[in-house]
Amino acid sequence: MHLILTQTILYIIVITIYVFVEVLVKNKLIINQNIVIKLNSSGKIRLNFNITI
């Protein structure tokens, strides 16, 4: 149960970051964006987050 809760929180954080970046891009505050989200078999999230302004 605890693992599921932690996983859910991580998903929410990742989605929040992604949406935030998308909003910035649509407002043309960010010229170049590169977001890679990788999920491995154990459900852990590796987030590569690179933004160039």
The pTM of the whole model exceeds 0.85: no
**37 phi, psi to nearest 5 deg:** -115, 120
In the chain, the amino acid numbered 51 is I
Show the CA angle centred on residue 51, arms to residues 28 and 34, nearest 5°.
95
Structure confidence by residue, pLDDT tens digits, 1-53: 677 888 888 888 888 888 887 777 676 655 555 555 555 555 565 666 565 54
